[in-house]
């Protein structure tokens, strides 16, 4: 990913917090059929400074064969974002642009094949997004759980490289940045307002 110096983010703690907050991402890989991408919810784990991403996809999705082949894959986290109008700059000689945060995580996926490990991953994902469902899940018949687990392919990806671009008007003056942030906030809650929050935090 192209990252100008003023858009770089190298704070590991901030990056970990970001990918945990925006854990629905695109997994891209290459195989005999060319490039493929699937959008997935991820569980993000960190131990001793090492980040591991865990997820699953439908077994009917042929991309899992790319993962099984052991090649490098790319996970793209991209939220939030917002349009920036040239009306907000001091000079009229400007053009529209977009503010955004994007993080690219690289690594080689490893399939998770043991039933217990696959089930544990599903429980982690549910605990992350819908902890109230765990009790109901525990009442499901084993045969039903087995059938569901058999229909998915689970994997882990140890992150070997993390690239981040925080494009948040860092190259603009304080007055311009404030106008941009206010404009993004004017739309109410949502990705634009969250972009404004990150602008205030990182500028």
**CA–CA dist 84, 185 (Å, integer):** 12
- Judged against a pLDDT cut of 90, whether residue 10 lies above it is answered with no
Check residue 88 and report its DSSP letter: G
Give counts: helices (H), strands (E), the chain: 7, 9
DSSP E strands in the chain: the ranges are 24-31, 34-41, 43-47, 50-58, 73-84, 97-107, 109-112, 152-158, 161-167
pTM of this structure: 0.92
Three-state SS at 162: strand
Tell me: the pLDDT tens digits for 85-123? 999 999 989 999 999 999 999 999 999 999 999 999 999
Question: Could you tell me the domains of the chain?
Answer: 5-170 (2.30.110.10)
Burial of 31 (0-12, 13-18, 19+ CB in 10 A): middle
pLDDT score at 190? 85
């Amino acid at each position: 990913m192209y990252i100008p110096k003023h858009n770089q983010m190298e704070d590991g703690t901030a990056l970990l917090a970001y990918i945990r907050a925006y854990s629905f991402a695109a997994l891209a890989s290459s195989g005999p059929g060319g490039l493929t991408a699937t959008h997935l919810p991820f569980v993000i784990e960190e131990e001793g400074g090492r980040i591991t991403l865990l997820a699953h996809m439908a077994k009917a999705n042929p991309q899992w064969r790319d993962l099984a082949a052991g090649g490098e894959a790319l996970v793209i986290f991209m939220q939030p974002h917002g349009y920036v109008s040239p009306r907000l700059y001091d000079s009229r000689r400007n053009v529209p642009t977009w503010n955004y945060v994007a993080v690219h995580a690289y690594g080689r996926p490893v399939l998770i094949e043991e039933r217990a490990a696959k089930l544990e991953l599903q429980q982690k994902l549910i605990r992350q997004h819908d902890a109230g469902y765990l009790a109901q899940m525990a009442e499901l018949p084993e045969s039903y759980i087995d059938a569901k687990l058999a229909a998915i392919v689970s994997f882990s990806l140890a992150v070997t490289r993390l690239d981040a671009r925080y494009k948040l008007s860092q190259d603009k003056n304080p007055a311009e940045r404030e106008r941009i942030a206010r404009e993004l906030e004017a739309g109410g809650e949502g990705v634009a307002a969250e972009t404004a929050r990150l602008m205030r935090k990182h500028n």
